[in-house]
């Protein structure tokens, strides 16, 4: 295991760019000249060296003061660099390997003791004290921020920690990442660890349930949106591909003892096929007509069974956020209850508005856009949907205004992506250009033109001539 990790570290460090030396303190030299390397070879670290480094940092975790007071001294004591102000490549690899080993030992000890990972080793007497693992992360983060060790080391430890933690512990680990977001996002650290952080978040999202861990998934996505710049293309769906794997399964045959209209049940849930892949609705006219007929049946049912304020008070999402789910059950036995649920109706109606907004957006080619008759049908259906949202309790008008505002902002992102994701930053105007522009500026006269202004000036300079005239 250690040999495999060491091989990965050597491959990752070999592709990194060198960092320049700065103020006194440890700095990384990722590339050395061939002559220096041949003259002073660095010995390969042994298990004894690794254990010694682990023991030094284990003792450092118990120190209560700030990492600024002892972190650099701990590195010098553990590694004993060949040069007092330089940490060569192999020494940096030894330090990273030892810190990952220490992290594994701390996680294993926390699991065996039955304590939460981020709270392991926390002092009961001192309320402000933190666990040993957050303390280790703080020390490494300080060293990375000051440039004493490689900037990507803290990202590697965070990735290891999420892989070794349960989903419950990962929430606390991610809370630490959110608190340190400003430091992790600094340019000297962001360039080294952005790919590792992206991989960590994506692996964590794959482990989470999209139905039961909705809030945690949203926290991760919000973090990525703030951590990466707006012009980052890693999260942009340039080709506009839809997630067709998100299939909604429902009953095809009517079960016994169900009082609901089964034809309406199949018609209702068949709309999800169009919501899953909106582009398919415009390719074939038969599919569009099938969607319009099915959607008209659903709208007629919603309009024939309006909801009262009592229904809105009983099913208030603001009071039951923990029970909110992005995927509703499709059992025919629940159809009657779901139709009386305001949040369920809003979920379906908002899906319709998103579909209509996509179909109305201008395409790259005129042939790909909707026809004139289709546009008229979209406008009529959209008007009915908005009226239903307005009368759906609770606070139907406020909810509709919020949805309209969100869809309007979404159009700006659609146009930005269609234009090739241009940069948002504007280059500052040069000072010389401003001065040239000021010279070419037309003069402004006090009384509109040169002659009247000159006469007024003469009157001020020679009042006797002015009164004589």
Q: Which runs of E-coded beta strand occur in 57-142?
A: 87-88
Residue of higher predicted confidence among 154 and 427: 154
Quick one: angle between helices 47-60 and 89-113, nearest 10? 60
Q: In sequence order, what DSSP letters do the residues of 119-180 get, joined into one string? A: GTT--SS-TT---HHHHHHHHHHHHHHHTSS-TTHHHHHHHHHHHHS-HHHHHHHHHHHHHT
Say if residue 407's pLDDT is above 60.
Answer: yes
**The pTM is what?**
0.62
pLDDT bin (cut points 50, 70, 90) of residue 466 is: low
For residue 388, give the nearest of 313, 301, 324 by alpha carbon.
301
Looking at beta carbons, which pairs linking 421-424 to residues 24 or more positions away fall under 8 Å? 421/231, 421/233, 421/236, 421/238, 423/231, 424/230, 424/231
Comparison of pLDDT for 141 and 123, the residue scoring more: 141
State the average pLDDT over residues 27-44: 38
The conformational region for residue 204 under phi > 0 = left, psi -120 to 50 = alpha, else beta, is alpha
Does residue 19 carry a pLDDT above 50?
no
pLDDT of 441 higher than 90? no
Name the most confidently modeled range: 14-28, 366-380, 431-445.
366-380
Is the model more confident about 3 or about 448? 448
Q: Would you state the pLDDT for residue 195?
A: 93
Most confident listed range (25-29, 134-138, 426-430): 134-138
Q: Which of 45, 72, 47, 42 is nearest to 57 (CA)?
A: 72
Instruction: Collapse the DSSP code of 262 into the 3-class scheme (helix H, G, I; strand E, B; otherwise coil) and give the result.
Output: helix
Burial 123-155, CB ≥16 within 10 A → b, else e: eeeeeeebbbbbbbbbbbbbbbbbbbbbbbbbb
pLDDT in tens, 202-230: 999 999 998 889 999 999 999 999 999 87
pLDDT tops 70 at residue 16: no
Q: Is the pLDDT of residue 121 over 60?
A: yes
Residue 360 contacts residue 370 (beta carbons within 8 Å):
yes
DSSP letters for 265-330: HHHHHHHHHHHH-THHHHH-HHHHHHHHHHHHHHHHHHHHSPPPHHHHHHT-GGG-GGG--SS---
pLDDT band at 245 (very low <50, low <70, confident <90, very high): confident
Q: For residue range 307-352, list pLDDT tens digits in order.
A: 988 776 766 555 544 445 567 899 999 999 999 999 999 999 999 9
DSSP string, 328-374: ----GGGHHHHHT-HHHHHHHHHHHHHHHHHHHSPPSSGGGSPPHHH
Tell me what pLDDT residue 448 has: 67
Dihedral angle over CA of 417, 421, 424, 425, nearest 10: 180
DSSP letter assigned to residue 70: T
Q: How confident is the model at residue 25 (pLDDT cuts 50, 70, 90)?
A: very low
Q: The tokens of 468 are what?
A: 């004589």
Buried b / exposed e along 225-237 (16+ C-beta atoms within 10 A): eebbeeeeeeeee
Q: What is the CA 323 to chain-centroid distance, rounded?
A: 24
What is the rounded average pLDDT of the residues 18-27? 40
Q: What band does 401 get if pLDDT is binned at 50, 70 and 90?
A: very high
Q: Give the pair of three-digit tokens for residue 127.
A: 């309320």
Query: Is residue 464 over pLDDT 70?
Result: no
Reported as a pLDDT band with limits 50, 70 and 90, residue 281 is: confident
Greatest mean pLDDT among 114-123, 168-177, 274-283, 334-343: 168-177
pLDDT at 385 over 60: yes
Residue 463, pLDDT score:
64
pLDDT over 90, % of the chain: 46
Of the candidates 156, 154, 161, 116, the one whose C-alpha atom is nearest the C-alpha of residue 137 is: 154
- Which structure tokens are listed for 323? 């029970």
Instruction: Give the rounded percent of residues in the chain with a pLDDT score beyond 70.
Output: 75
Sign of CA dihedral 276, 280, 285, 287: negative
| Domain ranges, ordered by start, for the chain | 2-228, 262-418, 431-468
Q: What is the mean pLDDT of the chain?
A: 81
Helices 132-146 and 71-79, axial angle in degrees (round to 10): 90
């Amino acid at each position: 295991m250690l040999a495999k990790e060491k091989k990965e570290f050597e491959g990752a460090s070999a592709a990194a760019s060198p960092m320049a030396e700065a103020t006194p303190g440890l700095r990384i030299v990722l590339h050395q000249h061939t002559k220096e390397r041949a003259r002073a070879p660095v010995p390969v670290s042994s298990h004894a060296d690794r254990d010694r480094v682990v023991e030094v940092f284990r003792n450092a975790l118990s120190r209560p003061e700030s990492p600024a007071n002892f972190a650099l001294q701990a590195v010098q004591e553990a590694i004993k660099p060949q040069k007092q102000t330089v940490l060569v490549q192999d020494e940096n690899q030894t330090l990273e390997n030892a810190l990952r080993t220490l992290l594994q030992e701390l996680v294993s000890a926390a699991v065996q003791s039955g304590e939460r990972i981020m709270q392991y080793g926390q002092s009961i007497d001192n309320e402000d004290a933190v666990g040993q693992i957050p303390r280790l992360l703080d020390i490494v983060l300080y060293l990375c921020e000051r440039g004493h060790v490689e900037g990507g080391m803290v990202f590697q430890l965070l990735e290891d920690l999420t892989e070794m933690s349960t989903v419950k512990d990962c929430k606390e680990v991610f809370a630490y990442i959110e608190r340190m977001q400003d430091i992790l996002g600094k340019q000297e650290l962001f360039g080294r660890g952005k790919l590792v952080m992206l991989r960590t978040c994506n692996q964590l999202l794959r482990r989470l349930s999209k139905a039961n861990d909705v809030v945690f998934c949203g926290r991760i996505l919000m973090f990525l949106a703030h951590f990466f710049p707006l012009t980052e293309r890693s999260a942009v769906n340039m080709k506009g591909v839809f997630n067709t794997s998100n299939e909604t399964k429902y009953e095809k045959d009517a079960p016994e003892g169900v009082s609901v209209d089964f034809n309406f049940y199949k018609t209702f849930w068949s709309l999800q096929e169009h919501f899953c892949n909106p582009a398919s609705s415009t390719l074939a006219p038969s599919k569009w007509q099938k969607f319009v007929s099915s959607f008209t049946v659903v709208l007629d049912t919603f309009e024939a069974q309006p909801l009262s304020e009592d229904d809105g008070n009983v099913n208030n999402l603001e009071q039951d956020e923990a029970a909110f789910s992005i995927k509703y059950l499709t059992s025919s036995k629940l159809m009657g209850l779901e139709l009386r649920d305001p949040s369920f109706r809003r979920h379906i109606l908002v899906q319709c508005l998103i579909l209509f907004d996509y179909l109305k957006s201008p395409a790259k080619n005129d042939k790909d856009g909707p026809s004139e008759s289709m546009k008229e049908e979209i406008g009529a259906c959209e008007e009915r949907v908005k009226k239903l949202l307005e009368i759906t309790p609770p606070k139907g008008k406020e909810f509709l205004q919020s949805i309209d505002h969100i869809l309007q902002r979404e159009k700006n992102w659609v146009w930005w992506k269609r234009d090739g994701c241009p940069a948002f930053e504007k280059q500052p105007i040069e000072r010389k250009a401003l001065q040239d522009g000021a010279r070419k500026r037309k003069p402004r006269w006090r009384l509109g033109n040169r002659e009247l202004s000159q006469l007024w000036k003469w009157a001020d300079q020679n009042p006797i001539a002015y009164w004589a005239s």
